[in-house]
Amino acid sequence: MNMDTNTFDAVFWSFFITSSVGLIIALTKMAYKSKCKEVQCCCIKIVRDIAMEEKEFEFSQTHPSTTPPLQPSPSTKNDSP
């Protein structure tokens, strides 16, 4: 069973690109959850305000969102007899 070279190339590149994107997303997620104030990778340097992020998280935990239930608007009301 010989696999066509074009099929192999397509499968390889699809796998490679999908894996690369998954790795980038996982690293971004891990960096966002980290509590480091300063992160430096290659030529990219990120400085974050951790204190403000912690205050925002505390506020969201102590003040749950209270959105009122949706009410149908008068224009979509069906008044058929």
pLDDT tens profile 24-72? 999 888 877 777 778 787 888 888 777 787 788 888 888 777 776 677 6
Judge whether 74 lies within some domain: no
Judge whether 43 lies within some domain: yes
Mean of the pLDDT values across residues 4-21?
87
Q: How many domains does the chain have?
A: 1
Give the span between the Cα atoms of 41 and 47, in whole angstroms.
12
Global pTM value: 0.47
Judge whether 46 lies within some domain: yes
Which residues are within 8 A (CB) of 38 and not within 5 positions of it... i.e. 6 or more apart?
45, 46, 47, 48
- What pLDDT score does 78 carry? 56
Between 42 and 18, the more confident residue is: 18
What range does the domain containing 29 cover? Answer: 10-61
- What pLDDT score does 16 carry? 94
Torsion angles phi and psi, residue 78, rounded to 5: -95, 110
